[in-house]
Each structure stands twice: as C-alpha cells, then as structure tokens.
Amino acid sequence: MTLKARFINLTSSYINENQSIELLWNELESNYTEPHRTYHNLTHLEELYGYFDTYKKELERPDLVAFAIFYHDIIYGIWNKKNEEDSAEKALNTLNKTSLSTEDLTTIESHILATKTHNAILKNTQWMIDFDLAILGSPIKRYNIYSQLIRKEYRKGPTLIYKKGRKNMLKHFLEKPFIYSTITFRELYEKQSKVNLQNELHSL
C-alpha cells in the first residue's frame, strides 16, 4: 500500500470530504519532500510503517499511532530545536478539524512529543518510539547509510558544530540503560544499536 493510500484509508474514517483529505495529503507530501530532507522524508515514513504493520496487533489504538507517524516529522528544520513540538502543534491544528476526540488528539500529541524525549510510560507510545529508533539497531551497512543521510541534512552547516551535536546525541543514547522501550525491540535491536552508535561516535 502506498503512503497516500494508507493516509486516505486512515483519514477517511474521520473526514467525509475527499477534497479535504487530498489537501491534507498534499501538505504532508510537500513537507516531507523538502530539498534538505535526505533522511526525515517519505522513505522514513515507509520504514516506520513497516514496523507498524508488523506489530499492529500490539497496539490498542493503532489509528492514533498511525496519525502520529504521519505527523511526527512534518516540521523538520536542521537547526530547529523544537521540531517535535512544532510537528505536534501542526498535527493538532490540522486534525482538530476532524472527528477525532480531544482525548485522541492529546494522545497523538503525546506520541509525537515522545520522539524527542525517547521516554514513555504508555504502551502505544513506547511502540511509537521504538518504530522511530529501529534504524539505530539495523545492520552495520544500513546504519552507515543512515548516518550518511543524516550528515547530508546538515551539509550546509559547519562540520565542527555538526560533530559536536551528533556526539551529544550518540552519547545520550549510549548512556541510557536501554535504548528501546519494548522488550521485543530490546531483544531484537538493543545490542546492535549500541555497537552502531559506539562505532559512529569513535568515527567523529
């Protein structure tokens, strides 16, 4: 299923007007295809939905996680320290015109904000975080491609500033007791993720 078809299927339960859905999709597509995005783009969403489809049965409200996936990086600027907050705000401003309840909107917001802190208590949010961080535990060659794509997003910035920020991010994860929130992802990806992060840290 294409991302567009997936988005239409998801939103059609909450919006009756096909034209409105088309406009929302066009906005999403436009944002995720911005020229500076070499990693945080539509391919990233497709990867997250691969995990979503695999573990959907674990989710109590998969529809809310699906909305969060679509909107979690809708705002992405390399020097913006509030990407997640801005993305959450954008999601709320857009989706409050649908039939989603206030409680649902708050849940979507919490899923998105958790991709910044990488901490969550609620089960569904834990899965959301792990989907987003799954790339860290990928095979070495795939991880190296990921790190190169991240570097390209910062290609217009000074190397020293990039390396400092990247090192801080890597150390943030390496210093955590666990990178992943769910037992499933810890068993599958925890060990490899730490190897990948340590290798990149040593290379900077």
Could you read off the pLDDT of 65-117 as tens digits, one per residue? 999 999 999 999 998 999 999 999 999 999 998 999 999 999 999 999 999 99
Q: Domain 3-203 has what CATH class?
A: mainly alpha
Name the residue among 108, 95, 31, 101 with its Cα closest to residue 68.
108
What predicted TM-score, i.e. pTM, was given to this entire model? 0.96
Torsion of CA 56, 59, 65, 66, to 10 degrees: 30
Helices (H), 74-180: 83-95, 102-117, 123-133, 140-153, 159-174
For residues 127 and 182, is the Cβ–Cβ distance under 8 A?
yes
In contact, 172 and 111? CB cutoff 8 Å: no
Neighbour-count burial of 88, counting CB atoms closer than 10 A to its CB (0-12 exposed, 13-18 middle, 19+ buried): buried
**pLDDT tens by residue, 124-164:** 999 999 999 999 999 999 999 999 999 999 998 899 999 99
Q: How many CB atoms lie within 10 A of CB 69?
A: 25
